[in-house]
Structure 1
Amino acid sequence: MVDIVSEHESEKTVEIVLKTIGPAPPSRLRVPSSIKVRDLRRLIASNGHLPIDNLSLILRGTALCDLKNGDDVRMQLNDGDSLIVAVKPKPPVKDGHDNDDDDEDLKFQLPQSSSRWKKKLYSFLHDKLKLPDIILMVIFTLSLKAWVLIIMWFILAPVAHRWDLGPLYILATGFCLILFNLGKRKAGDSSAYSIFNEDFRELPGTLNADRFDRDIRAGQF
């Protein structure tokens, strides 16, 4: 705690009121007026001997988070601000699979190595526009090349409609999607379709009419 306070000695300090949920009476704590949420949480936990990992802070009806889009959150406090302090209970141990794990998999988190403009765009779309995580996942997963192709497709679509080529445009789009997603085989790999292999070689264990006929003639059925 001493290290954090000495770090902000030259800055203005304010006195805040801590209202801990439970039987404990309200207390006061002097902290720097401009401070990171991470440091504020550490000061409060040290002052009240509370577990920092389960400590939840609420200011003006908003829960405080240490990080936002990978960056430390810094807040401005005023003299006399009232801060609600709550210690979250540890969740009970559950046997088997929990549905919460599936929900966590659906939540999209921007990688820490993302550029600053991506973090700002994510913050605008997630916090301001309130877009669902599945849409954010699609937006930030696609590469720049894919976005250029999508924009070009929407630009050319009205032109194709004007020339009465809409159905052909859709069919050509479908064929292009199939061709570009076929993938590439490594040297020596065989295709599951014998027509694409040298000498029409089939994969071991492939069941076809000729093999079925040979097994019948050999008395294996």
Structure 2
Amino acid sequence: MEMEEIVEEETSGKHENMVEITVKTIGPARPSRLHVPSSIKVLDLRKLIARKNHLPVENLKLILQGKVLHDRADEDDIYVRFNDGDSLIVAVKPKAPVGLDIDDDDEDLKFQLPQSTSQWKKKLYSFLRNRMKLPDIVLMAIFSLGLKAWALIILWFTLAPIAHKLDLGPLYILGTGFCLIFLNLGRRQPGDVSAYSIFNEDFRELPGTLNADAIDRDIRTGQF
């Protein structure tokens, strides 16, 4: 049984309206007509087009009104709504040569949350990215910080107006800078070399260094 007939049977009991759309495949193929429900999952639409045109479903990219259709967002299926006469563009990505793992999908170059991220963070990420249109570098900065860092940032902005009213704005900013410097100094572990040692491979003393060895050497040579 054809996939199109299956879709029609599944949606007949739901009283879905069927619409006719034009499917244009990039390449020498001619445009074709396709009857689909007015509202359908992108994943089901991808499988329907792949089965009807004998195309690899994993290499299909669907474009509607200049926007790429994605199957899922934040672990939820995405639905697409069609009007009668809409045009859908289908692009088929070429397969990578044997032995090479090449992926030209631009989505892999964007910031993505790990699979173990909580649901509320995924919802917030979807809102900031899709609704607020924040760039990936801003999203990376937002979701890379922990709760402690965000608490300190909120505290800093809360105290900033108070420092401004007390005419302590410059001191407040300078104090913040020094705190950031001292908090990020870190501690050298036993056995680690210092930053100065990078430029002093032989660990030679600086001229004029006064230590116990220099004093002992001066006494033995009669210079002290």
Q: TM-score, normalised by structure 1?
A: 0.68
Larger radius of gyration: 2
Structure 1: runs of 5+ lacking an equivalent: 195-204, 214-221
Contact 1:70 1:112 in 2 (8 A): no
SS state at 1:28 partner:
strand
Deviates more, 1:53-62 or 1:35-44: 53-62
Cα displacement string for residues 118-177 of structure 1 (whole angstroms, at most 9, x for unaligned residues): 333323322333322111111111122211211211221232233333343234323433
Deviates more, 1:5-14 or 1:140-149: 5-14
What corresponds to 1:72 in structure 2?
77
The 5 Å alignment of 1:154-193 reads 154-182=157-185, 190=190, 192=192
Shift of 1:92: 7.5
What corresponds to 2:122 in structure 1?
119
Q: 1:193 to 1:165 in 2, by over 3 A?
A: farther
Q: Partner amino acid for 1:59?
A: L
Deviates more, 1:35-44 or 1:73-82: 73-82
Structure 2: runs of 5+ lacking an equivalent: 195-200, 206-210, 215-224
Contact 2:4 2:35 in 1 (8 A): no
* Structure 2 Cα separation of the partners of residues 138 and 4 of structure 1: 46
Contact 2:4 2:36 in 1 (8 A): no
Contact 1:19 1:25 in 2 (8 A): yes
SS state at 1:85 partner:
strand
Q: 1:2 to 1:77 in 2, by over 3 A?
A: closer
Q: What do you get for the CA RMSD once the two structures are aligned?
A: 3.8
* Structure 2 Cα separation of the partners of residues 144 and 4 of structure 1: 49
Shift of 1:40: 0.7
> Please, which of 153, 158, 173 is the counterpart of residue 156 of structure 2?
153
Deviates more, 1:35-44 or 1:129-138: 129-138
SS state at 2:138 partner:
helix
* Structure 1 Cα separation of the partners of residues 13 and 164 of structure 2: 67
Deviates more, 1:136-145 or 1:107-116: 107-116
Shift of 1:91: 6.5
The 5 Å alignment of 1:40-79 reads 40-79=45-84
Q: Partner amino acid for 2:52?
A: N
> Please, which of 28, 31, 37 is the counterpart of residue 36 of structure 2?
31
Q: Partner amino acid for 1:88?
A: K
Q: 1:207 to 1:67 in 2, by over 3 A?
A: same
* Structure 2 Cα separation of the partners of residues 53 and 109 of structure 1: 20
Please state if 1:19 is matched with 2:24. yes
Deviates more, 1:72-81 or 1:47-56: 72-81
SS state at 1:109 partner:
coil
Percent identity, aligned pairs only?
62
* Structure 2 Cα separation of the partners of residues 81 and 161 of structure 1: 58
Shift of 1:2: 7.7
Contact 2:61 2:92 in 1 (8 A): yes
Shift of 1:48: 0.4
